[in-house]
Amino acid sequence: MASDTHNLSPIYVPSKGRATTSKTIPQLPEEEEWSVVLEPQDVERYALPEKRVIVLPENDRGLAYARQFILAHARSKKLGWFWMLDDDISGFYRVVHGRNQRISLFEALSSA
């Protein structure tokens, strides 16, 4: 699909301790707006471009804290819609004629 046809709502992926094992991060389309939300102690391990990282104010506060931070961040940007995805999603599928057919993250989110 051509990059100019992509137009997803922003994507947030809270992640901790999966710098090399996250299943979701490698699937994120480069041409889309997405950010990985990390604790300060994890930023260097992930080695992501600065524009792709949002750093939480504190370490070791848990997933609920990260999700609430993301919600506040999205509200501060006045986002009407956004995605918050777990960092361990290995694939996306569509049922076609009763069988699972693998599709891209972009296809899954744009058709939702």
- The pLDDT value recorded for residue 6 is 58
Q: Mean of the pLDDT values across residues 6-27?
A: 93
pTM: 0.89
Identify which has the larger pLDDT, 64 or 111.
64
Q: Residue 101: helix, strand or coil by DSSP? A: strand
Write down the domain spans for the chain: 9-111
Residues in Cβ contact with 93 at an 8 Å cutoff, skipping those fewer than 6 apart: 100, 101, 102, 103, 108
Mean per-residue pLDDT over the chain, rounded: 93
Q: Mean of the pLDDT values across residues 89-110?
A: 95
CB distance 100 to 24 below 8 Å = no
Identify which has the larger pLDDT, 7 or 31.
31
Share of the chain above pLDDT 70, in %: 94
Quick check: 4 pLDDT over 80?
no
